[in-house]
Amino acid sequence: MKTILRPPLSCFLILISGIFIFYPAYAGQKPKLVVQITIDQLRGDMPWRVNNRFGPGGFRYLMDNGTSYTNAHYQHSTTFTAVGHATLATGGNAAQHGLAGNDWHDTTAGKRVYCVEDDRHVLIGKEAKAHQGTSPRNLTSSTIGDELILATGHKSRVFSVSIKDRGAILPGGHLGKAFWYSSGSGKFVTSTYYFEQYPEWVKAWNAAGHADKYQTESWTLLQAPDTYTYLDQDDREMEKSYKHLGKTFPHPLGNEKAKSFYAALRFTPMGDSLTLHFVKELMMQEKIGQGEAIDMLAVSFSATDYLGHAFGPDSLEAEDNLLRLDQTLADLFAFIDQQVGLDKTLIVLASDHGTDAIPEYKTSLGIAAGRHRPDEFIAQANASLQARFNTTENLVVAFWNPSLYLDGAALTKLNLDVTTAERALAEAMMELPGFALALTRTDLMAGDIPSTSTADKIQAAFHPKRSGNVLIVQEPFWYLYPNPDQFSAMHGSPYSYDTYVPIMFAGPGIKAQRITRLVAPRDIAATIAAYVGILPPSGSVGTPLSEILD
């Protein structure tokens, strides 16, 4: 057996009274900068399918100069943006990081909770409105960035940028600074949690109107048409394009309605280009990676997710986006090399979740698939419970993936035991088509679940205070989301197409190699912590990746 604990370049794990103490894995010069890149909805096979068409400086820089894990899978069932970003930042599961989904139901207040909402901290310059304040308050674990700041006596700085608010706020942690794109103005914004007023450089960047240059442009194919695998899949009836973009190339970007124009950019590679432009300005103005302590930059590129939802992951749009994303990464890496030096930078790239094809497309190929409609299955479940317990009350009051929530007051009024109601609801759901598994809160709290990988993933996604009474899993290839017609394609299941993501490391001391053993994204935070010699996040349950530390 290969021994990985070899001084002085290895990660020493000293067991004292059951406590693991991590020492720096890399004995050479520590990096000046840690860059954590998250490509929203980048399934693990996608970069490798077209890697022969990439340039040398983007994905291929990581593939050729670092360690790539080609068998990385999330171990939770809630493969959504908020949960994935929280796992990457903390190394924890739902019980540790607190994110039961992108949304959940507050049983006390009787309302929906958005993952990063905080009415106490509004967007700078905006009036307080319900569900529009934002902060990391719902994140119940420290992040790798938080631990870096604490370990250096607040000398390290952490910045996080994304098109999505949750894609910026969760990686930024409690102590970092986060900025995200406003689909109503084309600007990058933040909340009063981070600043009382915008920094002057942010004001100047926003005033320059960088998004507006796309008003006269179109999204066209980057390479010769005959080189595209999905050239004949450019006009499919089941695609759900965003407003004026249309379903076929070229996609016109301009729109006389400013809000529609700015919102549509999220569904194109130009959304990532804007993100990169802002990141460059951030790096220059804040002199990131040029201080006495290690800085951290988290960047979440979100366009892959938006356009994947609209056109599907096996569309011509998704294929062209990958090629353009590669150019965006190459541009970012070249800029980092100029500003800091790639030889002084640890880069980690992963994704928050994978994705599946459009269910109607699967059906057209003869594969069993479907699209769930929550209003319908909630009504059917309520009818079943009403008949079973001889009541006219609607006992199921809310659904947020993957949870169904029961009305506690109604159960009390009926003198109905919660455990009994939960099991009846689980049985009712299993009688409906398109559902593979339903587990009750009572059984998940007790750990009384089937010995299957799917059940294990539901357990990892379960939060004792925020998850519902019954957690459900759809059959493979079934679309399940509160709004059934919002998108063409969806993710959020425990199946391999949703759990499979790339993990790539490049930086000082890291070998050029490809690893095929099964690993999990929750291992990333523990690996970064061991690499730079700091405490793992408080909720970390991952295992440091030996190939990075060897």
CA 531 to CA 10: how far, in whole Å? 9
State both tokens at 254.
Answer: 């301009």
Count CB neighbours of 456 within 10 A: 16
Does residue 362 contact residue 240 with C-beta atoms inside 8 Å?
no
Closest CA to 362 of 267, 246, 490, 494: 490
Does residue 361 contact residue 237 with C-beta atoms inside 8 Å?
no
Residues serving a catalytic function are 81
Does residue 512 contact residue 64 with C-beta atoms inside 8 Å?
yes
CA 291 to CA 148: how far, in whole Å? 14
CA 297 to CA 158: how far, in whole Å? 6
Q: Which residues of 192-221 are buried (b: 16+ CB within 10 A; e: fewer)?
A: bbbeeebbeebeebbeeebbeebeeeebeb
The sheet carrying 470-474 orders its strands as: 396-400, 403-406, 470-474, 435-440
CA 492 to CA 11: how far, in whole Å? 35
Q: Where are the beta strands (DSSP E) in 291-421?
A: 295-301, 345-350, 370-371, 396-400, 403-406
Count CB neighbours of 7 within 10 A: 8
The neighbouring-strand residues paired with 403 are 400, 471
Closest CA to 521 of 154, 194, 83: 83
CA 118 to CA 426: how far, in whole Å? 32
Helix (H, G, I), strand (E, B) or coil at 91: coil
Torsion of CA 356, 357, 359, 365, to 10 degrees: -130
Does residue 548 contact residue 508 with C-beta atoms inside 8 Å?
no
DSSP track, 15-51: EETTEEEE--S--SPPPSEEEEEEETT--TTHHHHTG
DSSP 475: P
Q: Which residue has the tokens 């009024």?
A: 413
CA 57 to CA 196: how far, in whole Å? 38
Count CB neighbours of 351 within 10 A: 30
